[in-house]
Amino acid sequence: MIRFEGATKTFPDGTVAVGGLDLLAATGSITVLVGPSGCGKTTSLRMVNRMIEPTGGRIMIDDRDTASMDAAQLRRGIGYVIQHAGLFPHRTIVDNIATVPRLLGWDRSTTRNRALELIERVGLPASFAGRYPHQLSGGQQQRVGVARALAADPPVMLMDEPFSAVDPVVREQLQEEFLRLQSELGKTILFVTHDIDEAVKLGDQVAVLRVGGVLAQVADPATLLRDPVDDFVADFAGRDRGYRGLGFRPAPSLTPRSEPAVTLGTSPEEVRRSGNAWVLVVDDDRRPLGWVEPARVTEPVATDRLHRGGTVARLDGSSRAILDAALSSPSGRGVVVDDDGCLLGTVTSAEVVAALQSPPGPDSSGQP
């Protein structure tokens, strides 16, 4: 657990970067600090490992005042990941990852095995061990940055915009894998970003800061999107927060309508039989593949004729996913599948919206 108690940083030039921050980052969960540029996110983070010394208040880790601990000792127990990874250009990947274990005096083979294990853990091939950082892409370097921070298995991790320097597709991958890793490791994580979407996606708890390092609101992502405390937070939470908020609301209980589906290779006559403008195509295990327009089918159904625009939702997924399935489907009928990905039926956006408007059930604000 990390606890900021009135933590303050006034720089020598008089800039108040952080003004009396009170915040609790619970053990084993991800707390995201989010806010506009210059609002003191990095400063707050760096006060935890004392790369920046607070000028007021204190910061406790598991009820120990960080000010009373030896700085180097403190830092070796805290993983730190930054934008652009900050890997040592002159050390190989395995040596980069081994940095803290070596400082801690682990023996050679334990250190090396740990580094090799982490390389695979963060989704990189073992053959990267002997490479230098410049031989890796930005996204790969960032993975090594995460591996290096995890090397000595620190209970606490500080992450400063770790994924913001990579392209959106890679960022999404890194975020997914980060959540997967965290579900296995259960670290206490303080995560800084200026991207509210990233904040609500990753955070168990999101703290919005305003300039001057003052806490505007701290809440779980669903609450933040549904109930911002003031205009600043509302503005920051972004425009389509109503829609995005559905991502944190479980899908309403709906009974999918049964959908006539055809398999690949079905003849044009057969496809036209239902009389619908769009017909769903499934594989032999009834997993949805895409839609076809009977009017345009002249040969037996083949994969290259499929319209694949529609997303697929599950009944136990989020409201956003099921609404999106309906909205993205060319037929207007959103495809719903079971846990194995097999077709259950379809729902329309009207049905989803109607179900969403009915009074929410007791656990409607819970996590997806």
Partner 1 sequence: MTWILDHLDDIGYYTLQHAWLAALPLLLGLLLATPLGWAARRYRGLYTPVVAGTGLLYTIPSLALFILMPLILGTQILDPVNVVVAMTIYTVALLTRTVADGLGAVPDSVIASATAMGLGPVRRLFTVELPLAVPVIAAGLRVAAVSNVSIVSVAALIGVPQLGSLFTDGFYRDFLDPIVAGLVACVVLALLFDLVIVVLARLLTPWLRTGGAP
- Contact residues toward ligand ATP (CB under 6 A) are 11, 13, 15, 17, 37-43, 194
Binding to Mg ion in span 37-56, by CB under 5 A: 42
For residues 199 and 60, give the distance between their C-alpha atoms in angstroms, rounded to a whole number: 23
Closest approach of Cβ 85 to partner 1, in Å?
A: 7
Residue 362 binding target from partner 1, Mg ion, ligand ATP, none, CB below 5 to 8 Å by type: none
Interacting residues with partner 1 between 113 and 132 (CB under 8 A): 131-132
Q: Least distance in Å: CB of 202 to partner 1?
A: 20
Which of 136, 144, 206, 279 binds partner 1 (CB under 8 A)? It is: 136
Phi, psi angle pair for 44, to nearest 5°: -60, -45
- x/- string (CB under 5 A) for Mg ion, residues 236-275? ----------------------------------------
Q: Name the helix (H) or strand (E) containing 281.
A: strand 279-282
Instruction: Identify the DSSP state of 211.
Output: T
**Interacting partner of 132 out of Mg ion, ligand ATP, partner 1, none (Cβ under 5 to 8 A depending on kind):** partner 1
Residue (14 or 242) nearer to ligand ATP, CB? 14
Q: How far is the CB of 349 from partner 1 (least distance, A)?
A: 44
How far is the C-alpha of 195 from the C-alpha of 293, rounded, in Å?
40
Q: Is 49 an interacting residue with respect to partner 1 (CB under 8 A)?
A: yes
Give the integer Cα–Cα distance in Å for 312 and 338: 10
Q: Is the dihedral of CA 32, 33, 35, 37 positive or negative?
A: negative
Is there binding between residue 3 and partner 1 (CB under 8 A)?
A: no
Q: Between residue 54 and residue 73, which ones bind partner 1 under the rule CB under 8 A?
A: 71-73
Tell me the DSSP string of 43-87.
HHHHHHTTSS--SEEEEEETTEEGGGS-HHHHHHTEEEEETTTT-
17 part of the interface to partner 1, by CB under 8 A:
no
CB 271 within 8 A of CB 262: yes
